Amino acid sequence: MKVIDETSFKETFQYFDKSIVLEIIDLFIAEYPGRIASIKNDIANRNFDGLKFNAHSIKGVIANFFASEPHQYARELENKGATKDGSGLEELVLQLDQSCLQLIEDLKQMKEQFKE
């Protein structure tokens, strides 16, 4: 199941230089392991300020790709960081991770359409 809204993605990026679109996708894919590791570390250490910051950061990047599911998980983590609510963090980060891994697969498929 795709998490990316392909129609919105294509409409938004249709006038961009294809190399820029590919660079945006590649940057997200390359940075993702570090981003999710930071969020997991914040959760493990109950660093709510770090969680708020890192979840906000990944949420902003995800917004570029019109992927509402991982965006929502990131928003929930950001809110939990802001309110210092430690409940359900492990489950939420697992959902975010799984959803982002699907987003990465979707983006890899989208890359093929921008390589022409």
Domain of residue 61 covers 6-114
Residue with tokens 């939420």: 92
DSSP sequence for 60-99? HHHHTTT-HHHHHHHHHHHHHHHHT--TTHHHHHHHHHHH
94 Cβ neighbours under 8 A, 6+ residues apart: none
Residue at 71 is within a domain: yes
Amino acid occupying residue 23: E
Look up the CATH number of the domain holding residue 56. 1.20.120.160
| The Cα angle at residue 85 between residues 88 and 42, in degrees rounded to 5 | 80
Residue at 93 is within a domain: yes
Residue at 36 is within a domain: yes
In the predicted structure, residue 91 carries a pLDDT above the cut 70: yes
* pLDDT tier for residue 114 given thresholds of 50, 70 and 90: confident
pLDDT in tens, 14-65: 889 999 999 999 999 999 999 999 999 999 999 999 999 999 999 999 999 9
Our count of domains for the chain comes to 1
Separation of alpha carbons 12 and 16, rounded Å: 8
Structure tokens at 105: 């697969």
Residue at 1 is within a domain: no
Residue at 79 is within a domain: yes
58 closest CA partner among 99, 17, 89, 105: 99
Category of 88 on φ-ψ map: left (φ > 0), alpha (ψ -120 to 50) or beta: left
